[in-house]
Each structure stands twice: as C-alpha cells, then as structure tokens.
C-alpha cells in the first residue's frame, strides 16, 4: 500500500495547469491554492480503483505534517 501511494502521490497534478507547474518564479496566492488542490484531485481519482482504496489516503495526505500544518486538512 505504501509503495503504491508513494508512486501515485502526485497523480492529481494531471489536472493542474502547466503554467502553474512550470512557473519559474514564485507562485501567487491563487497559484498556490490551485497547486494545493492536487492532493484532493488525486485522492478522488485513486479512491475509485478498488485495490488502491488504502493508497488513496496517502495520495490525499502526503503534504500533511505531524504538527497539523500542511494541506489539504488545514
């Protein structure tokens, strides 16, 4: 499960605009918010595949921190 989640952790970036992904400088607040959506987007995609249901949780929470910061749960 961990290996599958690790392999798929950024799959939600498929739905992120290339202008955001390839921007050479700092992102705007809007750009950051759009980028942060990739965790939820990836989770929504992966959870639909029965044998990847548990790995979907890794996709969803791979930017969370032990102290409660991070995203998307903040």
Whose tokens are 């950024």? That residue is 10
Q: What is the pLDDT along the chain (74 residues), one digit of tens a residue?
A: 999 999 999 999 999 999 999 999 999 999 999 999 999 999 999 999 999 999 999 999 999 999 988 999 87
- Rounded CA-CA distance 23/8 in Å is 22
Q: pTM value?
A: 0.89
What are the residues whose beta carbons fall under 8 Å from the beta carbon of 20, sequence distance 6 or more? 27, 31, 34, 35
Query: Residue 6 in contact with residue 60, Cβ under 8 Å?
Result: no
- Rounded CA-CA distance 70/67 in Å is 9
């Amino acid at each position: 499960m961990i290996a599958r989640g690790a392999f798929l952790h950024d799959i939600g970036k498929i739905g992120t605009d290339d202008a955001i992904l390839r921007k050479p400088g700092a992102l705007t607040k809007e750009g950051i918010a759009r980028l942060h959506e990739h965790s939820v987007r990836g989770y929504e995609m992966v959870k639909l595949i029965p044998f990847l249901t548990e790995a979907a949780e890794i996709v969803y929470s791979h930017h969370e921190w032990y102290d409660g910061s991070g995203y998307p749960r903040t």
